[in-house]
């Protein structure tokens, strides 16, 4: 009884700790800039809607429209998530169900790239993208990031855990490789796919360094990366516009949260029971 109480209060404390910056952002976003000079009020103010309207409407002077940045982020996150899922599903399917030369080697290669963080290959990837004249486009935000060892690995495990007699039954029924993929493998994999979609969407949304390196044109700025510019723009006033910066930050947080909440049930099931 006592242990449980201890554990609960511990969890509560951690949750509060995590929520604190969010609360601070909410407070800053709901006050007038004058209220934020040198202090942070304890309670939220009443200017949240007003600030939201300002940010989404006019934006901050000297920086691209927040709405546009949100749109760019959405394109990038969706593109990366869908691209990763497509590639990973197809390669996992190939590795599990087709016998081709060096099949195992191919899988080990994919798997070993799991060890390499994205940043390690920034330089060569940048060179290649520049060589292909991809810089400053949606393509460069998405295409170089859509290979995923994690997703390939998880889906391979999923396909490998499906009973082999399912494939036998499909072959007896006259389903070819693509029909088995579309009619059986894909629908059966929808839980892990949903979970992976959430993970990869958040991953794509939170990309910072790569968009910063490859897009200099403000038309392609994403909101996470644009935040930096916003802070510069916001603090260049005599009265720093922390209210608007924080409103934008809150807006930037929303879509990943929304995706996670909407797919929560699938997400948890997909990560816990890989079986089916």
Partner 1 sequence: MATLELYQVCKRFGAASALTPTSLQVADGEFVVLVGPSGCGKSTLLRMIAGLESPSGGEIRIGGRCVNAQEPSARDIAMVFQNYALYPHMSVRENLSYALKLRKLERAEITRRVDWAVDLLGLQPLLARKPGELSGGQRQRVAMGRAIVREPQLFLFDEPLSNLDARLRNHMRVEIKQLHRRLGTTTVYVTHDQVEAMTLAQRMVVMNHGRIEQVGTPEEVYAQPASAFVAGFLGAPPMNLLAARVSAEGTHVLVEDLAPLPLSAPQPARAGRAVTLGLRPEALLPDVDGCWTVTLNLIESLGGEMLLHAGVGKQACVLRIATTTSPWREGDTLRVNVASTALHLFDADSGQRLPS
Is there a contact between 224 and 274 (Cβ–Cβ < 8 Å)?
no
Token duo for residue 38: 């040198």
Q: What are phi and psi of 102, to 5 degrees?
A: 65, 30
Least spacing, CB of residue 173 vs partner 1, in Å = 4
Residue among 96 and 252 whose Cβ is closer to partner 1: 96
Q: Does 124 bind partner 1 (CB under 8 A)?
A: no
Token duo for residue 12: 């509560």
Q: How many CA atoms lie within 13 A of 68 on its CB side?
A: 13
Least spacing, CB of residue 167 vs partner 1, in Å = 9
Dihedral (CA of 174, 177, 182, 183) sign: positive
Stretch that binds partner 1, among 13-21, 71-79, 159-167, 193-201 (CB under 8 A): 159-167
Q: Does 179 bind partner 1 (CB under 8 A)?
A: yes
Binding residues for partner 1, rule CB under 8 A, total 17
Least spacing, CB of residue 262 vs partner 1, in Å = 21
141: closest CA among 90, 69, 46, 193?
69
Q: Does 172 bind partner 1 (CB under 8 A)?
A: yes
Q: Judged by CB under 8 A, which of 184, 213, 218, 274 binds partner 1?
A: 184
For helices 2-29 and 48-57, give the axis angle rounded to 10 degrees. Answer: 60
Token duo for residue 113: 């790239």
- C-alpha 147 chain-centroid distance: 14
> Would you call 28 exposed, middle or buried from its count of C-beta atoms within 10 A (0-12, 13-18, 19+)?
buried
Indicate the SS3 state at residue 76: helix
Q: Judged by CB under 8 A, which of 188, 253, 263, 271 binds partner 1?
A: 188
Q: Does 219 bind partner 1 (CB under 8 A)?
A: no
Stretch that binds partner 1, among 30-38, 56-64, 170-178, 255-263 (CB under 8 A): 170-178
Q: Does 171 bind partner 1 (CB under 8 A)?
A: yes
Q: Does 273 bind partner 1 (CB under 8 A)?
A: no
Residue 133: Cβ within 10 Å count = 10
Least spacing, CB of residue 87 vs partner 1, in Å = 23
Residue among 17 and 178 whose Cβ is closer to partner 1: 178
Q: Does 169 bind partner 1 (CB under 8 A)?
A: yes
Q: Does 161 bind partner 1 (CB under 8 A)?
A: no
Which residues of this protein are in contact with partner 1, per CB under 8 A?
163, 165-166, 168-175, 179, 183-184, 187-188, 276
């Amino acid at each position: 009884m006592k242990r449980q109480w201890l554990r609960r209060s511990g969890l509560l404390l951690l949750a509060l700790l995590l929520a604190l910056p969010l609360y601070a952002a909410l407070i800053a976003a709901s006050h007038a800039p004058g209220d934020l000079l040198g202090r942070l009020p304890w309670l939220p103010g009443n200017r949240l809607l007003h600030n939201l309207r300002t940010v989404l409407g006019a934006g901050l002077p000297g920086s691209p429209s927040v709405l546009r940045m949100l749109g760019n982020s959405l394109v990038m996150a969706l593109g990366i998530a869908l691209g990763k899922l497509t590639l990973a599903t197809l390669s996992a399917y190939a590795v599990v169900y087709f016998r081709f030369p060096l099949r195992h080697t191919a899988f080990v290669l994919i798997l070993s790239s799991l060890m390499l963080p994205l940043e390690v290959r920034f330089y060569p990837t940048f060179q290649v993208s520049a060589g292909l004249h991809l810089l400053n486009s949606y393509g460069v935000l998405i295409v170089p990031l859509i290979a995923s060892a994690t997703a390939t690995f998880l889906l391979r495990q999923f396909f490998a855990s499906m009973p082999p007699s399912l494939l036998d039954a499909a072959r007896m029924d006259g389903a070819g490789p693509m029909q088995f993929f579309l009619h059986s493998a894909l629908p059966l994999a929808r839980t892990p796919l949903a979970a992976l979609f959430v993970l990869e969407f958040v991953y794509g949304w939170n990309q910072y360094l790569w968009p910063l390196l490859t897009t200099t044109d403000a038309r392609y700025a994403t909101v996470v990366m644009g935040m930096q510019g916003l802070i510069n723009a916001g603090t260049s006033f005599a009265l720093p516009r922390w209210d608007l910066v924080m409103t934008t930050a809150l807006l930037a947080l929303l879509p990943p949260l929304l995706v996670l909440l909407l797919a929560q049930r699938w997400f948890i099931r997909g990560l816990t029971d890989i079986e089916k």
